[in-house]
Amino acid sequence: PDKKWDNAPVAEAAPGASTINTYITPSQCITTTLSPKTNDLVYCIRAGKINDVSLMSQVSIDQMVDFFLYCKEVNAMVADMRSLQSDSVIQVITCNDLSGVKLIGGSKEFRSSLSLASKKANELYPALNGRTLLLNLPKLLGALVKLFTPLFPEKVRERLRFVSDGPLGKDSVGDLTEVL
């Protein structure tokens, strides 16, 4: 079977798709297969490339939470299906690409929706609580993370990985659809 992921039908069926999909496009948020050798999924979001202020002027925090939970639900269903088909545990790796993220400014409602969705997803989909890659941290945020990471609970530290360069480095991929 073809392991290539097609984001279009999933995006079109998402709650609030007619509005949200004009702001969150495949160039900013995709799910894809990790490599031809594995069925693992990679869910990547480039929040800094989303016009969050305009988006949140059109939708509520609850609508955004529903959208992000829908993404998690679809990923959970696909991972479960692929696990059964391959007789191995399929993981979902979350990548938060922080290139372009503003430490000051932007929409606090958008940040709240991301945080609320993450908390709810951790409760609803504990099996998806796999590794999270934080890519392209701004220098100030990177310094703060290094300072405070030792204070994070051990379970959180085990799941986080920080990547300053690589296949999704700031200058490597301009549009996430390039990795499909």
pLDDT in tens, 97-112: 887 777 778 889 998 9
What pTM value is reported for the model?
Answer: 0.78
Length of the chain: 180
**Residue-averaged pLDDT of the chain:** 80
Q: What is the pLDDT of residue 33?
A: 80
Question: Alpha-carbon distance 42 to 35, whole Å?
Answer: 10
Q: And the tokens for 46? A: 């480039």
Instruction: Collect all residues with Cβ–Cβ distance below 8 Å to 149 and sequence separation of at least 6.
Output: 157, 160
